[in-house]
Homo-oligomer: A and B are copies of this chain.
């Protein structure tokens, strides 16, 4: 049996432990949902105060230059680049994951004339499939078709019609992780491009996009990057595609010379051409402050702790016989997982509500999944121990069967 004091000892030895003090975390709360919304970095409050008072408030319109608001999309992109193994100049922060998918899917189809299929998995995150559906419906069958297959049929499904293989690196339900290098190679060998959604990977799993010769990627700012609810997203396009790539959301911020106010659109070179409208500065500033933590921590250290936290959680569930009702739906082997684990239980929704009531926050995904995310920047080993103890209590006492825990509400 793993004891609570062993977990405390691991926290004492943990080189990442001091980082927890850089986050606001409510007293007594165990937050295992950083995979859905990252916790508030204290630096964000400070940064937004400055942005409001000194920049917007005092320097007003001049802040676009004086405080380089205009450079935020590129600057934040270059802060994210090392986290995903990308040389600078290939990542830009813009819009939402969904909108960025539309830009890159469109650009990818243009890069592969004669090929029309976007191939994805049936279990991909819905917005990835929806954006491809919206694009396909707009362009018509002659130009774009979305095809979805099971994970095991994926490689065989790539053929001479496949323009883009659209995959989410870490599955939002199971946490299962694709082999990015292998699948990128398989797609490219068959003449297709790959577009990876890194939403559940970035900030938790080391990524090597350049080395893997990935073509395109998108990712989320509000999960392990802690940029705040609905934080701006990012997109990556390998430099070798910069000259040719064209995207349809041709807004003024993507123009080669936006302040010339020319009536004709000329796409800006490189990643700037993937901007569309005026960037929401307050949201960018929050993300910028949140990204600063990566100056003092390596993603390898973070991954090591993430694996240990998840292993600890699974081991504690395993050794507790009353938790046999929970069925692990994540890969048992840590190398095949991202930074969250999922368990199925027929009363999953009610159990999660009862846990939240006891200040252990994970989340629930239909139809029966309990998800626990491990954000190594602020989650402690002892949190994992305590979370499983509360889980055991909730299951043993069957308190989750109380009617108040079955009332549904939407979460994201």
- Residue contact A61 to B48, C-beta cutoff 8 Å: no
**Which of the residues B60, B262, B363 comes within 8 Å of A31, measured between beta carbons?**
B60
A402 is an interface residue with CB less than 8 A from chain B: no
Known: A26-B58, A361-B60. A98 touches B252 (CB 8 A): yes
- List residues of A (194-237) whose CB comes within 8 Å of B's CBs: 222, 228-233
Known: A48-B52, A248-B138, A261-B365. A62 touches B277 (CB 8 A): no
- Residue contact A99 to B106, C-beta cutoff 8 Å: no
A250 is an interface residue with CB less than 8 A from chain B: yes
Q: What residues on B are CB-neighbors of A96 within 8 Å?
A: 95, 251, 276-278
A220 vs chain B, min Cβ distance (A)? 8
Known: A61-B361, A134-B248, A366-B260. A229 touches B56 (CB 8 A): yes
A263 is an interface residue with CB less than 8 A from chain B: yes
Q: How many residues on the A side are at the interface (Cβ–Cβ under 8 A)?
A: 91
Known: A248-B134, A250-B131, A265-B129. A52 touches B65 (CB 8 A): no
**Which of the residues B37, B65, B230, B279 comes within 8 Å of A61, measured between beta carbons?**
B37
- List residues of A (254-299) whose CB comes within 8 Å of B's CBs: 255, 258-265, 276-284, 286
The complex places the Cα of A70 from the Cα of B48 at a distance, in Å, of: 22
- Residue contact A126 to B365, C-beta cutoff 8 Å: no
**Which residue of B is nearest A410, CB measured?**
B259
**Which residue of B is nearest A25, CB measured?**
B57
Q: What residues on B are CB-neighbors of A276 within 8 Å?
A: 96, 98-99
- List residues of A (98-140) whose CB comes within 8 Å of B's CBs: 98-99, 102, 106, 122-124, 126-127, 129-131, 133-135, 137-139
**Which residue of B is nearest A27, CB measured?**
B58
Known: A40-B52, A99-B99. A61 touches B278 (CB 8 A): no
The complex places the Cα of A264 from the Cα of B282 at a distance, in Å, of: 33
- Residue contact A228 to B56, C-beta cutoff 8 Å: yes
- Residue contact B233 to A277, C-beta cutoff 8 Å: yes
The complex places the Cα of A375 from the Cα of B144 at a distance, in Å, of: 47
**Which of the residues B133, B251, B282, B283 comes within 8 Å of A265, measured between beta carbons?**
B133
What are 9 A-B contacts defined by CB distance under 8 Å? Answer: A44-B52, A95-B95, A95-B277, A96-B251, A97-B277, A98-B249, A133-B264, A138-B139, A282-B282
Q: What residues on B are CB-neighbors of A361 within 8 Å?
A: 60-62
A168 is an interface residue with CB less than 8 A from chain B: no
- Residue contact A261 to B126, C-beta cutoff 8 Å: yes
The complex places the Cα of A261 from the Cα of B174 at a distance, in Å, of: 14
A368 vs chain B, min Cβ distance (A)? 13
Q: What residues on B are CB-neighbors of A252 within 8 Å?
A: 98, 126-127, 130
A411 is an interface residue with CB less than 8 A from chain B: yes
A320 is an interface residue with CB less than 8 A from chain B: no
The complex places the Cα of A209 from the Cα of B26 at a distance, in Å, of: 46
- Residue contact A134 to B249, C-beta cutoff 8 Å: yes
A301 is an interface residue with CB less than 8 A from chain B: no
Q: What residues on B are CB-neighbors of A99 within 8 Å?
A: 95, 99, 249, 251, 276-277
- Residue contact A138 to B106, C-beta cutoff 8 Å: yes
- Residue contact A411 to B62, C-beta cutoff 8 Å: yes
The complex places the Cα of A31 from the Cα of B63 at a distance, in Å, of: 14
- Residue contact A409 to B131, C-beta cutoff 8 Å: no
**Which of the residues B45, B249, B282, B366 comes within 8 Å of A283, measured between beta carbons?**
B282
- Residue contact A228 to B282, C-beta cutoff 8 Å: yes
The complex places the Cα of A69 from the Cα of B222 at a distance, in Å, of: 14
A159 is an interface residue with CB less than 8 A from chain B: no
A148 is an interface residue with CB less than 8 A from chain B: yes
Q: What residues on B are CB-neighbors of A263 within 8 Å?
A: 122-124, 126, 129, 148
**Which residue of B is nearest A276, CB measured?**
B98
Q: What residues on B are CB-neighbors of A63 within 8 Å?
A: 229
Most chain B CB inside 10 Å of its own CB: which residue of A64, A263, A366: A263
